Structure 1
């Protein structure tokens, strides 16, 4: 499905805000710049800036991608294949394909997170929210008799594989992030055969 000009513009502005916030954080430290500095660097108004991010940490970490609504609805309904593992692999792969990731950007975020406990905590909270969201989606998909522990385990393992893929992407930028994720997922899947 082709993205609208508005969607593409929103992605571009969000990416610009994040790039500016990260550059300022690397140059001056988190406490060395203001949200006004980010807005000026990104070429947006303060009001526009806050329509994209609620604060400095979110500006640095970036706007998380949203899953494709049609694919997510299909996942909740038990698709696309009817096998949970294959469908998790497909939805995460599609999500990663929708985000333009550069190894240098990933490495910079990792450095920033390692350099400041506030960013580390904020990223940990994000991962917790994503894990909860994904676990709830799995439980919705699996129905009223679904095991909450299974949903949480699948979501947690999926995020761990994503983190491994990010690490490998920085080390081997010739291979795409989505391909690194697929390799990590497939390797993990063999553990349970």
Structure 2
């Protein structure tokens, strides 16, 4: 199970505000373009100050990518928690099967993917996010008890999975 504990009211409220900000931002990006939309524009559309915006997102880019970085760390932790005797490929298949939904939910859909493809800074960020996920999962695969994988093999298995 990915997480059996339900977040508290404060965390649920925070997630709701983040989701609303992201939705507003995506609408503004579609209407005006990513580069022409400022953090101030997004905050104003949500009825927040610029400072309040930064309580929810560290940067404008993070509005597009949401919790992708958090998901990477949690997927890596799930790899580390798998049984020690489990083969690396079986481990990856089990974890990725369990995490398939949350990994895809971390993306923002077709509109976000189109925006990312059309915006060089976001395209570069997507590549960094993917590399970070692959790196964290490959490292977790090597760190499992009894794992005798070299870095190349762990990277190759992770990329293939």
> What is the TM-score of this pair, normalised by structure 1?
0.65
Measure, in 2, the Cα distance between the counterparts of 1:17 and 1:89: 34
Measure, in 2, the Cα distance between the counterparts of 1:25 and 1:74: 35
CA distance 1:22–1:74, change in 2 (3 Å): closer
Contact 2:79/2:137 (8 A) holds in 1 = no
Matched, 1:134 2:137: yes
Measure, in 1, the Cα distance between the counterparts of 2:106 and 2:134: 24
| Alignment partner, residue 161 of structure 1 | none
Q: Could you list the runs of 5+ residues in structure 1 that have no partner in the other structure?
A: 159-193
User: When the two structures are aligned, how many residues end up with a matched partner?
Assistant: 157
Measure, in 2, the Cα distance between the counterparts of 1:47 and 1:122: 23
CA distance 1:65–1:11, change in 2 (3 Å): farther
1:127 Cα deviation (Å)? 0.9
| Alignment partner, residue 64 of structure 2 | 60
1:3 Cα deviation (Å)? 1.5
Secondary structure, aligned partner of 2:68: coil
| Alignment partner, residue 27 of structure 2 | 23
Larger RCO, structures 1/2 (Cα 8 Å, 6+ apart): 2
CA distance 1:74–1:80, change in 2 (3 Å): farther
Secondary structure, aligned partner of 1:30: coil
Q: Could you list the runs of 5+ residues in structure 2 that have no partner in the other structure?
A: none
Secondary structure, aligned partner of 2:58: coil
| Alignment partner, residue 116 of structure 1 | 119
CA distance 1:67–1:121, change in 2 (3 Å): closer
Contact 1:65/1:99 (8 A) holds in 2 = no
